[in-house]
Structure 1
Amino acid sequence: MIFKPSRLLIVSAILLLGACAVYTTNNLVDRYGNASAKDREVIAIDANQVDYWRDVKPVLDNRCVVCHACYDAPCQLKATAPEGLARGASKDKVYHPQRLTAAPPSRLFQDAFGVEAWRERGFFPVLNEFKSSTEANREASVMYRMLQLKADHPVMLDTPLTKDVPVGINRDEFCPQAENFDAFANEHPQWGMPYGLPGLSKNEFTTLTQWVQEGGRYTPLSPLDTKLEAQRAEWEAFLNRTGNKGRLVSRYLYEHLFLAHLYFSELDQTTFFKIVRSHTPPGQPVKLLSTRRPIDDPGTQDFYYRLVRKQETIVAKTHMPYALNTERMQFWQGLFFNTNYTVGTLPGYDKKHIENPFLTFAQLPVKSRYKFLLKEAQFSIMNFIKGPVCRGQAALNVIKDHFWVFFVDPEVISEAKVAEFLQENADYYDLPNADSDVYLPLSTWLHYSHKQKKLLDAREAFLKEQLVDENRSITLDMIWDGEGNNKNAALTIFRHFDSATVEQGLVGAPPQTAWVIGYSLLERIHYLLVASYDVYGNVGHQLMSRLYMDFLRMDGESTFLLMLPSETRAQERQNWYRKASPEVVDYLKHPALDNRVEPDIDYRSSTPKLELFSLLEERLGDAVNHRRDLDNIDNKVVRKALKRLAKVKGKTTEALPENTYLYIHDGEQHFAASLLRNNAHLNITSMFREDKYLVPEENDVTVTNGFTGAYPIAFFDLDVEQLADFVDAVGALKSKDDYTQLVNQYGVRRTNANFWPELDKIHAALREFDPVEFGVLDLNRLQNR
């Protein structure tokens, strides 16, 4: 017999459950009194109490920050600073691809100050805010309850997580509060913290528990060293020069360095600063002037550029170190102040200037702007890779999985003529704004494609004048050689499905595509995807930013193609855009210059593109960074095996993750490497259904010396004696089951009993490889296989 509950019974059950919910909520109030927002910074703590900076921060950095950092921290709970824990969590998501209206920004240390202000913005506590006592601090703390939930329900070691513990950046998030935590725990007993990973060690758990029980308090950051303070004062004086020239230069620097982690390399390489706008001048406490984007109107003419100490734990996915030193100041002085030009009227923050940096900074020398960007070209590109736009496959499927980048030499074409061209065609350089139409992406794409065609017409006429009419040729000399030693002259970009990495040098085998970037393209990429991008914007803004990037990618590709023979250009373009939409094909056919101009390069082989890559590498010489080359590995056995691994191609690669870390040990010696899967595409012009355009039989892999990328997807720990068999097994992969066997034999699953010690080894290797660039990894993409 099937039991059918009566209507009365159902109603009674609902009332009972409701009463339980009320009881749970009121129980905390009954037991501990009413809750109120609590700021937790104190001047000092007792000697026998847990110290946040000495005891707690190391545990958080190594066990919690790996998931709870940046915009994509689950429930916006940031463990990167004590103020983040005091702020608490929110059910609102920063990355929300279906958002029809812009959301209010919620940036820590920027959009609100003090716990009460965050409560008014909808954030709820994860530390006790009822009357303080040891019991209340523990039982009314979501943080403690999450840790205890994991201790009570540990993961099953060395086996994949069950389906009721979903992982990945797109999983549903449940953000429990203290009042309803019992219901959450009953429904999801396996969801304790660290989520989907082994629990903390006994000592780590005890440290965090004691800190929570003592009230989760922390003392202020220790003051800066006097030498660092002096350096900060010197640089703030540089950034706040009087006069129109100084003010316009500082605006340009600010809009390009607002994401940088600045450090005084001659004094300290671990203390970082951020440039901000402040109501108050140097010498006074900073009173932040916060806007959604750095290009937005500050609302006052009386503001100052200040350097504030970076208060959060450095994480790899957002870490972009930028050195300030004597050489840098002299370089900027030469570019912008020892150059003969004048600045009349300062540009405002009206719509036309916000959307067009070529109008805003027209009075600054073009060559100075370009040399500023080129000097740290990796950083310039990395802003697009590590900035807020980088998160998610839909944002990154505008680029290939692996390609090389070169730059136009700033001395190739007359600066005066470039400046005149930019001014005459300024209308065609307008970028999509934050009010892009949510419902008409195709028509908006067509609108901008028409403007781009006009820009291409203008550029073609300009290049015809410079090349054809003046009887000049396209040669290898048009490529910037980094003055012979600047390692930014050649870059490699890897896309790992929904994340990306930019490296110096020509890493990996010759790729299918390459870009050649000049000043206007580099500037447009920055303003489209960095300075003008609003991570809290609506879906129309985010969609149009991605769609517009199509044009910029094609621009970089087309300039590279100009260096190839004309018949090769057509073949390459056709191969890059197989099965592209009619609108894209029409757009690609528009430029005609490449049918009329041949490069003055002595090609001697039947494979001009590969030959061009070789010629460019020869031209750049010592400016090519080789630190990722496998030849730098001094162990012959390891080097030989990894080179063999780098030859794996085709459908065999389908079972591999996009980014795999290999930790190899030979006695006390260890080696680090990354195995990157490069997916081949028919084309990358479609934002959706990327799987329809994949060509797995054309896939290949890149193996790098050292760990590459901030988002590892899989870990393998290998003894050198196992390496040859591991390479054989990878080359023989035919199915997901084969890959599972590979993990069974060599992998470090997220449920591995030694997972945390393994991660500590990886972090130590990263710090050893480059301490300045070191940042805590992000594990939100770690596989469950």
Structure 2
Amino acid sequence: MRLAKQWITLTLIFMGTSGLVMAAPPSYQKDIRPILDQKCLACHGCYDAPCQLKLESVDGLDRGASKIPVYNGGREESIPPTRLGTDAQSTAQWREKGFYSVINSAYGMRGSLLFKMLSLGHEYDFPANQKLPNKIQLGVKRENTCPNPEEFDDYADNHPMEGMPLAVTGLTDQEFNTLKQWMQNGAPLEEEPLTLSADEQQQIQQWENLLNRRDNRHALVARWLYEHLYLAHLYFGEEEGPRPAHFFTLERSSTPPGQPLVPVATVRPNDEPAHPFWYRLRPVSGTLVHKTHITFALNPQKLARTRQQFFSGQWQVNTLPGYAYENRANPFITFEAIPAEARYQFMLDNAEYFVRTFIRGPVCRGQIATDVIRDQFWTVFQDPQHDLFITDARYRNQVSPLLGLPGQDESLLEAGAAWFRYSGDRNDYLRIRQQAYAKAEPAGPGWDSIWAGEGHNRNALLTILRNHDNASVRKGLLGDYPLTTWVMDYPLFERTYYQLVVNFNVFGAVSHQAQTRLYFDLIRNGAEQNFLRYLPRELREPVIHHWYQDGGKVRLKISYASIDTEHPTAIPFKTSTPVNEFNANLVKRFAEINARPDPLNRCDSERCARNDVAAWRQQADSNLSKLASRRLGNLPAIRFLPEVTMLRVENEAGEQEIYTLFRNRAHSNVAFMFNEDGRFQPELDTLTLYPGVLASYPNFMFNLTLPELATFVARVEGVEDEEGFTQLVNDYGIRRTHPHFWDYFHALTRYMEQHEPSQAAVLDMNRYQNL
């Protein structure tokens, strides 16, 4: 039957409407790219693309695959980076780096690896919406063998059900035959046509003019801005505006504006270039993937504010700093000439972007960052006028030398000594900080010391939701009151950015990665200590001991500076649960800048729903809110839920609403690099539910009609064991083998295109589970 369908499809392809005219051969941009975007890109993007086969752009397909894994937590030495578009500029150069073609072969189409893999996947149909065989390894821990064309037969013998797309509803016959014909024609590739508007060209020129002025003040600010924006997908428009025509990256180029851009390839953005360079804006080509789509809006208002922030004063730069070890390790010394308030305010203005870079940045899958944080917490920032690093030059000069960051030296022999040196400096800094703030604020910190976004900037309140080895960051205070809330000042904010983004090398050795992780543990502790200053002094010790249970108490004694239990807070407290009381007051006092009021997880009425949405969405809110903020003790189904579940709800008119359901895993502490399973407290796990696509890596999806919601919620509440949960998945779940899997999966992107157009991109399905 399959052969008959293929023959009919091929006949239609080769016959025109008259039956005599041959159809045009498939075009890569028109016919092939949409298939790859629909069925392949959800796995093959970013550094964690299997076998480094990146399919976001034509350049990635042309480059091909490699056997060298980017993520290797055990390598003793760093490896040369293999960043697409940066570390090689031609197919031949990639072949020299060990990449092999997946489309070309000396034996024609049938010898190409892409054809072999797609053919293997097309030979086997999994039973519709049934669980996959357990022997198929899935997830980011899958061991990818990355066969080259000559090794494919052995791969097929050993993995007969693991063709491509892997373990999911595969290509339709029409898609397969279109790809087959394209490969029969030699797999011709075409660059994406790209034409910039006059307005885009004008704004590019304005920003490049700012960044390429040669006086010392502009040169130092340009370097700081580049190191803070090199990861961004820049676009011209407003944050909440329509989807822009193009996105751009900020590059260092060996060629000036007006000439073709030639990127300067350094491992880190603060490594010294080998020759003179210019800052350039380069259009992003190909299809966007959500996990690397970290957006930053540029517009005339932001350009004017940037100029005002950095150049309104009379500060001077006598000599530009270099790129030596100490310059890379300590940005507070490197950029000390730039007013600290300008640097901090720029980061505050765009806080969501910067916090996103911590977790969605160079790591792509970020357990280096995420296993040191709680599963759900809020972040606020110290007001610049209450930050001594900003307001007190003597204090700033005293502590700046103590704010260096480890990890630049990747030698295993040097790692221990470096760690003790930097952790010691950090603890010395905290002791000085405690003393300085006790003197400057004898009555303690009050609400006025928390940045209020100048009354309008919603970056002032953020929620971080961790999902094992990745996390999500959103403006607003989402979820129930968290166990911890971070208060970040400028030294914390900047150190976190440099440690996890600028100075992090995804191709680095185990020593570098370990030092990065260990120092971020200290940064988290610093944010917690800053928060504790706002609580009654007699309750600070019980609170931190609750955060650091079991082995965490050892870390309190040997790794962290002592907390301040002597000096008061200026905030009056009325209860013996100060963390919840602080967070409740945070919600009330900053309601005007809270981007996402949360009536689902913190409902104080009988009907829990948003007020500003259609009636059918309110009905969906009300039904699903019964699951929000529930604990495993009274909702056993939590035990079987993955960490990120998408709920798609459709009304009678075909409109959809998407909810993200997070399982927040409780931990006795998050102070150690290993044995996380041993620190889980599953009986304290909770759920956070909120409308929208709030994660890059869905673990599963339920598809529901509006009339089904009440029954679905009751079924979830009635789950008591794995058998009951499996039946729930059978009735409402979208397994990888569902006939319409891809329609539902990409419905999440379509939802973003409608509700958050500038953020819309293809989600990652490497973590989609086999429930």
Same fold per TM (> 0.5)?
yes
Deviation at 1:727, TM superposition (A): 1.8
Indicate which of 327, 330, 333 corresponds to 1:353: 327
Q: Where do 5+ consecutive residues of structure 1 fail to align?
A: 1-45, 131-135
> Hey, what does 1:12 align to over in structure 2?
none
CA separation of 1:415 and 1:101: change in aligned 2, threshold 3 A: closer
State the aligned residue count.
Answer: 730
Deviation at 1:737, TM superposition (A): 2.7
Indicate which of 448, 451, 457 corresponds to 2:431: 457
Instruction: Describe the SS at the equivalent of 1:251.
Output: helix
- Alpha-carbon distance in structure 2 between the residues aligned to 1:365 and 1:427: 17
User: Is the counterpart of residue 280 in structure 1 residue 255 in structure 2?
Assistant: yes
Deviation at 1:237, TM superposition (A): 1.1
Tell me the alpha carbon deviations over residues 653-708 of structure 1, each in whole angstroms, 9 at most, x when there is no partner.
Answer: 22110000000112123221011000111100111111111111111110011121
CA separation of 1:443 and 1:725: change in aligned 2, threshold 3 A: farther
Aligned positions of 1:126-145 closer than 5 A:
126-130=102-106, 136-145=107-116
8 Å Cα contact 2:253/2:261 also seen in 1:
yes
> Hey, what does 1:219 align to over in structure 2?
190
TM normalised by structure 2 equals 0.91
> Hey, what does 1:203 align to over in structure 2?
174
CA separation of 1:589 and 1:762: change in aligned 2, threshold 3 A: closer
- Alpha-carbon distance in structure 1 between the residues aligned to 2:155 and 2:475: 47
> Hey, what does 2:405 align to over in structure 1?
431
Letter in 2 for 1:438: L
User: Is the counterpart of residue 54 in structure 1 residue 12 in structure 2?
Assistant: no
> Hey, what does 1:264 align to over in structure 2?
236
8 Å Cα contact 1:400/1:684 also seen in 2:
yes
8 Å Cα contact 1:507/1:629 also seen in 2:
no
- Alpha-carbon distance in structure 2 between the residues aligned to 1:334 and 1:83: 40
When structure 1 is superposed on structure 2, of 610-619 and 189-198 the one drifting more is: 610-619
> Hey, what does 1:292 align to over in structure 2?
267
8 Å Cα contact 2:237/2:298 also seen in 1:
yes
- Alpha-carbon distance in structure 1 between the residues aligned to 2:570 and 2:589: 15
8 Å Cα contact 2:232/2:249 also seen in 1:
yes
Aligned positions of 1:182-197 closer than 5 A:
182-197=153-168
Deviation at 1:198, TM superposition (A): 1.0
8 Å Cα contact 1:481/1:619 also seen in 2:
no
Deviation at 1:451, TM superposition (A): 2.1
8 Å Cα contact 1:627/1:705 also seen in 2:
no
> Hey, what does 1:637 align to over in structure 2?
619
- Alpha-carbon distance in structure 2 between the residues aligned to 1:413 and 1:758: 48
Indicate which of 642, 647, 654 corresponds to 1:662: 647
Instruction: Describe the SS at the equivalent of 2:290.
Output: coil
- Alpha-carbon distance in structure 1 between the residues aligned to 2:70 and 2:248: 24
> Hey, what does 1:761 align to over in structure 2?
747
Tell me the alpha carbon deviations over residues 224-262 of structure 1, each in whole angstroms, 9 at most, x when there is no partner.
Answer: 234122322222112111200000000000000000000
> Hey, what does 2:659 align to over in structure 1?
673
> Hey, what does 1:310 align to over in structure 2?
284
- Alpha-carbon distance in structure 1 between the residues aligned to 2:559 and 2:140: 35
> Hey, what does 2:17 align to over in structure 1?
none
- Alpha-carbon distance in structure 1 between the residues aligned to 2:23 and 2:358: 46
8 Å Cα contact 1:484/1:621 also seen in 2:
no
Aligned positions of 1:568-607 closer than 5 A:
568-581=539-552, 583-587=554-558, 590-592=561-563, 594-607=564-577
User: Is the counterpart of residue 231 in structure 1 residue 207 in structure 2?
Assistant: no
- Alpha-carbon distance in structure 1 between the residues aligned to 2:161 and 2:262: 44
When structure 1 is superposed on structure 2, of 191-200 and 415-424 the one drifting more is: 415-424
Instruction: Describe the SS at the equivalent of 1:488.
Output: helix
Aligned positions of 1:605-754 closer than 5 A:
605-626=575-596, 630=600, 631-632=609-610, 633-634=613-614, 635=616, 636-651=618-633, 652=636, 653-668=638-653, 669-754=655-740
Letter in 2 for 1:244: N
Deviation at 1:588, TM superposition (A): 7.2
Runs of 4+ aligned residues of structure 1 deviating over 6 Å after TM superposition are 439-443
Deviation at 1:223, TM superposition (A): 3.6
CA separation of 1:531 and 1:589: change in aligned 2, threshold 3 A: closer
8 Å Cα contact 2:28/2:188 also seen in 1:
yes
Deviation at 1:638, TM superposition (A): 1.1
- Alpha-carbon distance in structure 1 between the residues aligned to 2:641 and 2:672: 24
When structure 1 is superposed on structure 2, of 73-82 and 232-241 the one drifting more is: 232-241
Indicate which of 488, 496, 500 corresponds to 1:525: 496
When structure 1 is superposed on structure 2, of 745-754 and 206-215 the one drifting more is: 206-215
When structure 1 is superposed on structure 2, of 78-87 and 424-433 the one drifting more is: 424-433
Instruction: Describe the SS at the equivalent of 2:727.
Output: helix
8 Å Cα contact 1:475/1:563 also seen in 2:
yes
Deviation at 1:641, TM superposition (A): 1.4
8 Å Cα contact 2:427/2:560 also seen in 1:
no
User: Is the counterpart of residue 103 in structure 1 residue 74 in structure 2?
Assistant: no
Instruction: Describe the SS at the equivalent of 2:441.
Output: helix
> Hey, what does 1:420 align to over in structure 2?
394
Deviation at 1:437, TM superposition (A): 4.8
Aligned positions of 1:158-173 closer than 5 A:
158-173=129-144
Q: Where do 5+ consecutive residues of structure 2 fail to align?
A: 1-21, 601-608
- Alpha-carbon distance in structure 2 between the residues aligned to 1:370 and 1:147: 50
Deviation at 1:610, TM superposition (A): 1.9
Instruction: Describe the SS at the equivalent of 1:702.
Output: strand
When structure 1 is superposed on structure 2, of 312-321 and 619-628 the one drifting more is: 619-628
Deviation at 1:438, TM superposition (A): 3.4
TM normalised by structure 1 equals 0.90
Deviation at 1:525, TM superposition (A): 0.2
Deviation at 1:153, TM superposition (A): 1.7
- Alpha-carbon distance in structure 2 between the residues aligned to 1:80 and 1:506: 33
CA separation of 1:223 and 1:388: change in aligned 2, threshold 3 A: closer
> Hey, what does 1:556 align to over in structure 2?
527
8 Å Cα contact 2:44/2:53 also seen in 1:
yes
When structure 1 is superposed on structure 2, of 143-152 and 773-782 the one drifting more is: 143-152
Letter in 1 for 2:318: G
CA separation of 1:584 and 1:444: change in aligned 2, threshold 3 A: farther
- Alpha-carbon distance in structure 2 between the residues aligned to 1:457 and 1:218: 60
- Alpha-carbon distance in structure 2 between the residues aligned to 1:116 and 1:588: 50
Deviation at 1:309, TM superposition (A): 0.9
8 Å Cα contact 1:72/1:94 also seen in 2:
yes
Deviation at 1:628, TM superposition (A): 6.7
Letter in 1 for 2:93: A
User: Is the counterpart of residue 89 in structure 1 residue 71 in structure 2?
Assistant: no
> Hey, what does 2:4 align to over in structure 1?
none
8 Å Cα contact 2:488/2:530 also seen in 1:
yes
> Hey, what does 1:14 align to over in structure 2?
none
When structure 1 is superposed on structure 2, of 620-629 and 319-328 the one drifting more is: 620-629
User: Is the counterpart of residue 367 in structure 1 residue 341 in structure 2?
Assistant: yes
8 Å Cα contact 2:552/2:669 also seen in 1:
no
8 Å Cα contact 2:620/2:709 also seen in 1:
yes
| Percent of residue pairs bearing the same amino acid type | 37
Deviation at 1:208, TM superposition (A): 2.0
Indicate which of 336, 346, 355 corresponds to 1:381: 355
Instruction: Describe the SS at the equivalent of 2:292.
Output: coil
Indicate which of 480, 483, 486 corresponds to 2:451: 480
8 Å Cα contact 1:366/1:418 also seen in 2:
no
Letter in 1 for 2:274: G
Deviation at 1:393, TM superposition (A): 3.7
- Please report the RMSD computed on the Cα atoms of aligned residues, expressed in angstroms: 2.0
Tell me the alpha carbon deviations over residues 341-365 of structure 1, each in whole angstroms, 9 at most, x when there is no partner.
Answer: 1111100001110100001100000
When structure 1 is superposed on structure 2, of 663-672 and 327-336 the one drifting more is: 663-672
Letter in 2 for 1:231: Q
